[in-house]
Structure 1
Amino acid sequence: METVISFIIVFGTLVFFHELGHFLFAKKAGIMVREFAIGFGPKIIGIQKGETLYTVRLLPLGGYVRMAGEDFDTVALQAGYRVGLLINAANEVEKIYLNRNVANPDVLFLETESSDLEKELFIEGYDEEGQLVRYNVSRKAVIYEKGQKTLIAPYDRQFESKSLGGRAMTIFAGPLFNFILAFFIFLMIGLLQGVPTYEPVITNVVSGDPAQVAGMKDGDFVKVVDGKPIETWQEFAEIIQNSPGILLQLEVDRNGDSVMMDVVPKTLEEKGKEYGQIGVKYTSPVEKGALKAVQHGAEETIVWFKRIADLLGQLVTGQLSFDALSGPVGIYQATGEVAQHGIYSLMNWAAILSINLGIMNLLPLPALDGGRLLFFLFEAIRGKPIAKQKEGMVHFVGIVLLMLLMLIVTWNDIQRFFF
């Protein structure tokens, strides 16, 4: 149960902030957002607030922000169709009923001849006396059909009506918010737990291991190894691991005194590769402070961005096996393991996943944010957008391929963890 709760909180938070980025920048650009959804598939919870429906859906595999004018959002009235109209005090249509039976004596019925619910905002048709009439449509008119209601979206409220920069920023904002979320998580860890200094201070010496035999004691501050000054614990640990069975000369600071000692790391083996170990345990000293926490948040975000980008590069060049990829099952399993080490480990894991989600969404692949940004780049170069039908087909193929990739990766996860 702990794993389930941890996964829902972590993954739900990452998806929420990603979609929040799209949502806020869409609103800033004046785009009508029809739905803000966490998850896919059947709706579990839905709350209508203003012009947006906020939903939680059954499949926790992502989320979406549905903006007016995208995909199949266009609302049109076919010529010859009988509709009911409710006129407001300004003599504008405020409600359009597509149902043939409407129990409201104020509703006027007509057979549509022509209409435009995006730019000119009018409906023209024949009333029940056969007269051709024309009505202006309110910008906030609502269409009712089979118990569902849909706000019309004037063209200036649609995604495609906005400037290239406005559209690009709305799409880029999703990954951007994932990077911002990661920064704030790292910052909170720094504020609450403190910022590790990574100073090479020995926390505990294991009895009987090479470090104790050499005379090392708890609290020793490693200054020099074989003539090389040591600044961080990572530098010291790397030298030890790369020196199995090799005599090393250490200089440590012990209560202000310089102490020299020789140590030979014992040789261990893992996955066919030898490495050295001297038998010391380490817990990094920490510093607290708002400025330190901000610096820590920025540095960790940049470090993990580079690491994940590097791993992605290795995957593309073939240096990293495709089997190393993990999908939802692998992330679920890893989240459960990390949660056992405490809240700070879980927060750190969430920040790393957030950066990973941001980077993956920026890949220039169809159906991803990066793919859409690539089409905007083509538009900027060509001076006009690519036909929506062609772009839609490319994204559709991309979605199919991504679903196939998801199935393959999930199957790898299942084999890795359950067989």
Structure 2
Amino acid sequence: MSTVLAFILLFGALVFFHELGHFLFAKRAGILCREFAIGFGPKLFAFKKNETVYTIRLLPLGGYVRMAGEDPELIELKPGLRVGLILDNEETVQKIILNQKSKYPNARIIEIERADIEKDLFIQGIEEEDDEQSKIYKIDPKAQIVENGVENQIAPLDRQFASKPLLARTLTIFAGPLFNFLLAIVVFIIIGLLQGVPSEEAKLGVITEDGAAIEAGLKEGDTVQAIDGEKVETWTEIVEIVRDNPGETLTFQIERDNENIEIDVVPKEVEGQGKIGVYAPMDQSVLSAFTYGFTETWFWIKTIFIILGDLISGGFTIDAFGGPVAIYASTEMVAESGFFNLLRWGAMLSINLGIMNLLPIPALDGGRLTFFAIEALRGKPVSKEKEGFVHLIGFSLLMLLMILVTWNDIQRFFLK
């Protein structure tokens, strides 16, 4: 049960911050965000605040921000349609009632002659009580259309995603992966502040209880000046000497409490390498923690790109990929190894999610950014129909790949 909870919280946090990036930049650009969703499928929980419905859905495999203009608008007000209007004191339309008009006794009933709820924001029609009087009503930019008791805010053109400048659209889409990288930086900084940052000082960190170091009498905080008369100045040099001499007696010249002493240590052989059971010294400074957040994130970004390059050059195989089941199994193992390792694993997953979304694959953020790049080169966007078709094919292939990867993961981890 604890693993399930850890997986849900971990994966949910990654998705939340990814979608939060899209959401905040969309709001900053003035785009109407209809829904902020974590998960897919049926709603488990929902509430509305201001213009946006916030939902948690059944399948915790992703999330989305539904922005006005990305999909065809839901309502079209055609001539001849009878609707109810809720007006304010200035006769400006606040609500347009499509059905169940009897539930709104104060609604003014009209038969539509013409209407524009995107550009000019008006509705013209003949009132029910006066068949000969046609009147034009101004529509509030935040007016609601009510259908079957459900309210949906209209989306004027200036609130729709496609109407925004190319830069604003690009930043809105790029912000999702960006927030994944920022989350990783913050997590690594937290680890650095709480646990410390591995230092290159030639000092001994935490001593394990069953290693050669504690048996020989070495202590945490000892400064290593030389090993077998060979001067050492960094932690890496200590590790290399110990690693290359399993089973051999090494004389450590150390400084402890302002005294110079020598201690003989025999590294134990572990998988052909020497080990003495000592961790690297930790730097507890705030500056080092902040530096660590950026350097560690950059290290994993480079590492993941190297792995992707190896996959491409070596050929794709289904075993090279891992889906939600593999992430769950790995999370279970990492969670058992301690809280800080779980945090580190979450940061690495966040970086991976950010990079994967930036790949130029249709239906992912990188695919959409690719179309924006084409638009910048052409001076005009690709038609919605062509772009939508490409994204549909890409989404279908991604779903197929996920099914294959998930089945492969189930076989690997549960059907051995």
TM over 0.5: yes
Q: 2:297 aligns with which of 301, 311, 322?
A: 301
CA contact (8 A) 1:86 1:95 kept: yes
Aligned to 1:156: 158
Amino acid at match of 2:24: L
Pairing 1:47-86 to 2, within 5 Å after superposition: 47-86=47-86
Distance 1:308 1:239, change over 3 A: farther
Pairing 1:131-210 to 2, within 5 Å after superposition: 131-199=133-201, 203=207
Q: 2:336 aligns with which of 328, 340, 348?
A: 340
TM-score (norm 1): 0.87
TM-superposed deviation, 1:380: 0.5
Partners of 1:92 and 1:385 lie apart in 2 by 35
Larger displacement relative to structure 2 (279-288 or 348-357): 279-288
Distance 1:84 1:248, change over 3 A: same
SS at match of 2:171: helix
Distance 1:403 1:227, change over 3 A: farther
Aligned to 1:26: 26
SS at match of 1:307: helix
TM-superposed deviation, 1:321: 4.8
CA contact (8 A) 2:225 2:254 kept: no
Partners of 1:43 and 1:176 lie apart in 2 by 27
Partners of 1:307 and 1:226 lie apart in 2 by 37
TM-superposed deviation, 1:290: 1.4
Distance 1:248 1:36, change over 3 A: same
Amino acid at match of 1:309: F
Q: Are residues 1:393 and 2:395 paired?
A: no
1:152-175, Cα deviation, whole Å (9 max, x unpaired): 011111111111111100111111
Amino acid at match of 2:92: E
Q: 1:232 aligns with which of 226, 231, 235?
A: 235
Q: Are residues 1:281 and 2:266 paired?
A: no
Amino acid at match of 1:88: D
Pairing 1:209-228 to 2, within 5 Å after superposition: 221=224
Larger displacement relative to structure 2 (257-266 or 402-411): 257-266
SS at match of 1:73: coil
Larger displacement relative to structure 2 (39-48 or 111-120): 111-120
Amino acid at match of 2:274: I
SS at match of 1:181: helix
Pairing 1:363-374 to 2, within 5 Å after superposition: 363-374=359-370
CA contact (8 A) 1:85 1:95 kept: yes
SS at match of 1:173: helix
Partners of 2:242 and 2:310 lie apart in 1 by 27
Provide structure 1 residue ranges, at least 5 long, that are not aligned to the other structure: 269-275
Pairing 1:287-326 to 2, within 5 Å after superposition: 287-318=283-314, 321-326=317-322
Partners of 2:176 and 2:398 lie apart in 1 by 18
Distance 1:109 1:193, change over 3 A: same
TM-superposed deviation, 1:282: 2.5
1:166-198, Cα deviation, whole Å (9 max, x unpaired): 110011111111111111111111111111215
TM-superposed deviation, 1:346: 1.0
Pairing 1:376-391 to 2, within 5 Å after superposition: 376-391=372-387
Percentage of identical aligned residues: 50
SS at match of 2:83: strand
SS at match of 2:173: helix
Partners of 1:285 and 1:296 lie apart in 2 by 15
Aligned to 1:125: 125
1:2-58, Cα deviation, whole Å (9 max, x unpaired): 101111111111111111111111111111111111111111111110011111111
TM-score (norm 2): 0.88
Amino acid at match of 2:162: E
CA contact (8 A) 2:100 2:148 kept: no
SS at match of 1:102: helix
SS at match of 1:278: strand
1:63-105, Cα deviation, whole Å (9 max, x unpaired): 1111111113353212322211122211221110110542434
Aligned to 1:271: none
Q: Are residues 1:353 and 2:349 paired?
A: yes
Paired positions, count: 406
Partners of 2:356 and 2:253 lie apart in 1 by 45
Distance 1:47 1:212, change over 3 A: closer
Partners of 1:292 and 1:220 lie apart in 2 by 20
Aligned to 1:404: 400
TM-superposed deviation, 1:133: 2.9
RMSD: 3.0
Partners of 1:240 and 1:323 lie apart in 2 by 36
Provide structure 2 residue ranges, at least 5 long, that are not aligned to the other structure: none
Larger displacement relative to structure 2 (219-228 or 393-402): 219-228
Partners of 1:108 and 1:136 lie apart in 2 by 14
TM-superposed deviation, 1:236: 5.5
Partners of 1:410 and 1:363 lie apart in 2 by 21
CA contact (8 A) 2:267 2:275 kept: no
SS at match of 1:138: strand
Aligned to 1:417: 413
Distance 1:320 1:105, change over 3 A: closer
CA contact (8 A) 2:98 2:145 kept: yes
SS at match of 1:75: coil
Q: Are residues 1:114 and 2:114 paired?
A: yes
TM-superposed deviation, 1:220: 7.5
Partners of 2:347 and 2:227 lie apart in 1 by 34
Partners of 1:201 and 1:290 lie apart in 2 by 20
